[in-house]
Chain A
Amino acid sequence: MKKLSKKTLNSSFWRWYYGNLTAFSHEHMQTFGYMWSMLPIIQELYSSKEEQAEKLQTYYPFFNTEPQIGAIVVGITAGLEEARANGAEEIDDEMINGIRAGLMGPLAGIGDSLIVGTYIPVLLGLALGFAEGGSVLGPIFYIVVWNITITWFMRFIYNKGYELGGNAVEMIVGEQATAFRESVIILGQIIVGAMSGSWVSITTAWTLTAEGAKEPYFNLQKSLDGAFPGVLTMLFVLLCWWLMSKKGVSPIKVMLLMVVIAFAGVFIGFFNPGLSY
């Protein structure tokens, strides 16, 4: 009965933690990171060089996902590789790559929306609050909390993947996990709203002044804020969202559009930052 040593699993984990994207190219993406991570496992399980080379070829196919949550896949294949070395016949290259290919997409979606799209912005948001006035507390808070939690999380799911092997799939795409994910995303939606309200400030300088009068009789910004504070900001965020998600406009093009709107808006007097040296 072959059993992977703790040292080997550690080595495999840290290689993935560090090297998942260091050799990134658009052709192979995380393939080399994956092979580098599986190498110590294969070398421990198989003694002959020929067998090692053969088993390593299982990991030649393309791999790419959100690499932090993707640690679970590396853990799963470590578990499967151990079972295969112990003679489990149902585990072959096809099965392993079926699991890898099958999990890449869902995990990228989960990782991008939960880790990159929700958790990191929330932490950064809190850190921005602490950083007010240029305090070092903000960056330090983020550095400590982010690195401790993500390292713990990656380690946890790597180990879970290794223990459960193929059964770990249920943990990711099962009913309970889906309900949990959807609930966290609701929290994310509310927080994106709160962040937009706190940090983005788009105001108009557009007013109407009666002939000869000193003060304008109509101030668009005041009127809008009287109806819904910050509504102009909110509409701009929603406009950008609509362009990107409903019209398929790329973020870069939306940014360029904002540049055009800024120039046009300044030209007609809708925007005026009112700054001076």
Chain B
Amino acid sequence: MISWFQAALLGVMSVCAASTIAALGTSIGNYTLNRPLIAGLFVGLILGDVQGCIQIAIPMQIIYIALVTPGGTVAADLRAVSYIGIPLAWAMAKTQGWDMGGAEAQAFAGAMGAAVGSVGTVQFYGTAMMNLIWQHIGWARLDKGDFSIIGKVEVFFPLISHLVISFIPVTLLVYYGADAIGEFKDALPMDSWYMKSLFTVGSLLPAVGMAILLKSVVTKPSDLIYFVGGFAMAKSMGLTLLAAAAVGGIFALVNYTIKMNKPKVVSAGGIDDDDEEDI
């Protein structure tokens, strides 16, 4: 199903995409290649089914839409979801002859994404711990006035951590897992209580993802009214996300205008409002 070469390429991708400590850095590694939807494209290119892999990636991306890593604690490192979860869920759907966009494949992908997230967590802490070794070498050499060690600690030594903790496990898991996963069908019938439960888990977990996101933007309970309003816009009024963002923009602008026009003790006159950076 998946060749050694393909499995090794997936292993390399997981190294590039490791969360927070990615070999390709934060913006390109963690916040681009690490995201399941983007990984869907690359896994698809490697496995030769771009459309199918992107479809498999969609439910996984929804579960992990919000992944904030405050102070270096991660709930789940998506490298495992993206580069173990997508290939294996794809292999399962392929073996079963499921339509990649159909209910079974989508539900299985969601459950799979939830299951392998914790593998990524172990990888994250493992890499961070192994990096301690390189940093200790770094401090020792710095004391001797060797500045060039900083670049090595930054760029080259972490690759050893990645080789041990990302590349090898991902390659092996994907290669052997893809063949083994198809045999699950007979052992796990859809109308069994455990498969029903597994798929129910897949539908409940996105709620946790949204709640994590909600936590990062809500400071007081009254903020929740905006959340409920946004929910009604999408579900009851049928607005798309972009349309809901446009309505939300109105509320944001009104709030900004009110805040800036409050009478102040110290006048802030003369400051140009336009120089605020928009992100």
Contacts and interface: CB of A to CB of B under 8 A. Distances in A.
Given A22-B23, A32-B153, A118-B217, A200 B62 contact: yes
A271 B204 CA distance: 10
A121 B65 contact: yes
A193 B62 contact: no
Interface in A28-55: 28-29, 32-33, 35-36, 39, 43, 49, 52-53
Contact of B129 (A25, A115, A200, A259): A25
Nearest to A154: B27
Interface string A253-277: 0110011011101110001110111
B140 interface: no
A194 B21 contact: no
A36 B154 contact: yes
A131 B241 contact: no
Contact of A179 (B51, B204, B259): B259
Contacts of B128: 24-26
A267 B245 contact: no
A134 B100 contact: yes
B228 to A, nearest CB: 6
Interface in B12-68: 20-28, 30-32, 35, 37-38, 40-41, 50-55, 57-58, 61-62, 65-68
A241 B211 contact: yes
Interface string B63-93: 0011111111001000000000000000000
Contacts of A157: 277
B11 interface: no
Main secondary structure on B side of the interface with A: helix
A18 interface: yes
Interface residues of B, number: 125
Contacts of A250: 75
B207 to A, nearest CB: 4
Contacts of A138: 37, 54
B239 A266 contact: no
A189 B223 contact: yes
Contact of B211 (A133, A143, A237, A259): A237
Contacts of B129: 25-26
Nearest to B64: A124
B102 to A, nearest CB: 9
Contacts of A193: 226-234, 244
A194 B241 contact: yes
B6 interface: no
Contacts of A23: 21, 131, 134-135, 138, 153-154, 157-158
Q: Which of A122, A134, A178, A277 has the most B CB atoms < 10 Å from its CB?
A: A134
Given A134-B50, A195-B210, A29 B41 contact: no
B217 A188 contact: yes
A52 B50 CA distance: 51
Interface residues of A, number: 126
A63 interface: no
Contacts of B196: 266, 271-273
Nearest to B206: A200
Contact of B241 (A27, A186, A195, A265): A195
B12 to A, nearest CB: 16
B260 A179 contact: yes
B1 to A, nearest CB: 18
Given A124-B61, A189-B223, A238-B224, A20 B25 contact: yes
Given A21-B25, A194-B234, A202 B279 contact: no
B54 A236 contact: no
Nearest to B259: A179
B231 A236 contact: no
Interface string A83-114: 00000000000000000000000001000111
Contact of A183 (B213, B241, B255): B255
B181 interface: no
A236 to B, nearest CB: 4
A166 interface: no
Interface string A161-187: 000000000000001111110111111
Contact of B227 (A25, A28, A189): A189
Interface stretch (A2-10, A212-220, A227-235): A227-235
Given A193-B229, A266-B197, A277-B104, A19 B268 contact: no
A190 interface: yes
A206 interface: no
Q: Which of A189, A202, A252 has the most B CB atoms < 10 Å from its CB?
A: A189
20 contacts: A17-B25, A23-B153, A24-B72, A28-B135, A39-B147, A56-B142, A108-B70, A116-B69, A117-B66, A128-B62, A139-B37, A139-B38, A183-B256, A186-B223, A229-B235, A238-B211, A238-B224, A251-B212, A255-B205, A265-B200
Q: Which 7 A-B pairs have the closest CB atoms?
A: A193-B230, A197-B234, A240-B211, A117-B216, A134-B51, A190-B248, A194-B244
